[in-house]
């Protein structure tokens, strides 16, 4: 893991020097940004980060968590660290979108990212559309929710999409191909929000004993393909969003591993 972190950090350092104007700090240079809804012409065969819009609690939370910095920065690094053709706008910023589960363009997204899954709520129509998307070959990755209450809320919501009797939630073992598609990931780290980490002197469990254990779980189809990937009691998205922020030790400790996990999951989704 030390070799992986050192190698990835070196790549990211060179990439940052070459394309520093593309990396946002926190919410980015424009401050709070409303959802950029997709248009049919956006989908031209290049990869776009598709964030799921869902109903949840107020400003700064719900679907907006880590938006748009995580979406932007991960897209930049995905283009630099792989050969995936990521879609960029004329100003060289990644073209990421926020998509409603009831939007027909949902099915044009290569995969879906949902952040703060503990606050997600799906209507019956949204659950039906998400089920169709996943059964047709899509993959959903959910990240950044903490504690037993949030987990219970999420399992209730995803259970409406994929009934647990037919599609049980299982641990993803270290031997699973998703852990080795490009980077050799040996564990899923517990990543706290940068504000929590800095304010507590380096603690990682945001809910104390109630979130001490990191969950890396998934739901498979009948052929063993992952349809849903879940990182719970950890905030992988913050390793992307906060890349350019201080203290820099946060980047050194978490970001190389966070990008490695993200790249692996995207490559798995694009090839399965």
- The two three-digit tokens of residue 194, written as one number: 């940068």
Distance (Å) of CA 248 to CA 25, 126, 171: 12, 40, 32
pLDDT at 58: 47
pLDDT at 107: 98
Distance (Å) of CA 135 to CA 12, 159, 245: 35, 14, 39
pLDDT at 259: 98
pLDDT at 232: 98
User: pLDDT by residue for the chain (272 residues), tens digit each?
Assistant: 555 555 555 455 544 444 444 777 655 444 457 899 999 999 999 999 999 999 875 444 589 999 999 999 999 999 999 999 999 999 889 999 999 999 999 999 999 999 999 999 999 999 999 999 999 999 999 999 999 999 999 999 999 999 999 999 999 999 999 999 999 999 999 999 999 999 999 999 999 999 999 999 999 999 999 999 999 999 999 999 998 888 999 999 999 999 999 999 999 999 99
Nearest Cα neighbor of 262 from 141, 153, 169, 165 is 141
| Angle between helical axes of 147-161 and 124-135 (0-180°, round to 10) | 70
pLDDT at 8: 54
Chain mean position to CA 42: 21
The answer to whether domain 2-271 has CATH 3.40.50.12140 is yes
pLDDT at 21: 41
pTM for this prediction: 0.90
pLDDT at 24: 72
Backbone angles phi, psi at 196, to 5 degrees: -65, -45
């Amino acid at each position: 893991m030390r070799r992986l972190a050192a190698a990835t950090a070196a790549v990211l350092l060179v990439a940052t020097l070459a394309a520093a104007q593309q990396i946002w700090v926190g919410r980015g240079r424009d401050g709070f940004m409303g959802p950029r809804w997709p248009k049919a012409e956006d989908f031209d065969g290049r990869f776009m980060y598709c964030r799921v819009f869902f109903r949840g609690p107020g400003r700064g939370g719900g679907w907006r968590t880590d938006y748009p910095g995580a979406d932007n920065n991960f897209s930049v690094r995905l283009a630099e660290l792989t050969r995936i053709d990521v879609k960029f706008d004329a100003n060289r910023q990644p073209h990421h979108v926020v998509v409603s589960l009831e939007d027909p363009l949902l099915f044009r997204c290569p995969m879906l990212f949902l952040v703060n899954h503990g606050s997600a709520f799906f209507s019956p129509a949204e659950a039906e559309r998400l089920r169709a998307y996943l059964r047709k070959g899509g993959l959903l990755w959910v990240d950044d929710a903490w504690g037993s209450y949030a987990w219970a809320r999420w399992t209730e919501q995803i259970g409406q999409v994929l009934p647990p009797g037919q599609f049980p939630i299982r641990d993803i073992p270290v031997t699973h191909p998703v852990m080795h598609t490009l980077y050799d990931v040996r564990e899923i780290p517990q990543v706290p929000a940068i504000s929590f980490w800095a304010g507590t002197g380096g603690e990682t469990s945001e809910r104390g004993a109630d979130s001490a254990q990191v969950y890396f779980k998934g739901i498979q189809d009948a052929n063993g393909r992952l349809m849903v990937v879940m990182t719970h009691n950890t905030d992988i998205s913050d390793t992307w969003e906060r890349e350019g922020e201080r203290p820099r030790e946060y980047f050194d400790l978490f970001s190389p591993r966070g990008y490695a996990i993200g790249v692996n999951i995207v490559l798995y989704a694009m090839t399965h």
